[in-house]
């Protein structure tokens, strides 16, 4: 006999099966206004994801950080050719 978990909505449609991948929240941080990187150990245990949110979207003419992932390292940079000041963003990350 097979064992597992399956959940269904009121109409009988499956909404969760044991083979589904569920998102796991890892944390969040603010980038600040200088480029940098951070090693996130949990990225080795799944597929990493992140979202970026402006801390102050009404701050006027400034350039937000650009965020990327490579392996288990999350990095942020700013446009070097810009004459506008850098703007910190809030990064939320995890794995699924």
- The C-alpha torsion from 62 through 72 and 23 to 14, rounded to 10°, is 120
Alpha-helical (H) ranges within the chain are none
Give residue 55's pLDDT band: very low, low, confident or very high (50, 70, 90).
Answer: confident
Work out the percent of the chain whose per-residue pLDDT is above 70.
96
Q: Give the contacts of 32 (CB within 8 A, at least 6 positions apart).
A: 88
Domain assignment of residue 2, yes or no: no
Alpha helices in 20-85, H assignment, sequence order: none
**Residue ranges making up the domain that contains 78:** 22-95
**pLDDT by residue (tens digit) across 2-49?**
567 889 999 999 998 887 677 899 999 999 999 999 999 999 988 999
Instruction: State how many domains the chain has.
Output: 1
- Number of neighbouring beta carbons within 10 Å of residue 62: 15
Is residue 46 domain-resident? yes
């Amino acid at each position: 006999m097979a064992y597992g978990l399956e959940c269904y909505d009121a109409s009988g449609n499956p909404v969760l099966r044991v083979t589904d991948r569920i998102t796991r929240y890892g944390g969040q941080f603010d980038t600040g206004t200088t480029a940098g990187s951070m090693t996130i150990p949990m990225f080795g245990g799944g597929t990493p994801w992140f979202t970026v949110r402006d801390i102050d979207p009404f701050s006027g003419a400034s350039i937000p950080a650009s965020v990327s992932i490579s392996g288990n390292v999350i990095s942020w940079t700013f446009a070097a050719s810009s004459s506008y000041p850098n703007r910190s963003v809030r990064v939320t990350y995890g794995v699924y």
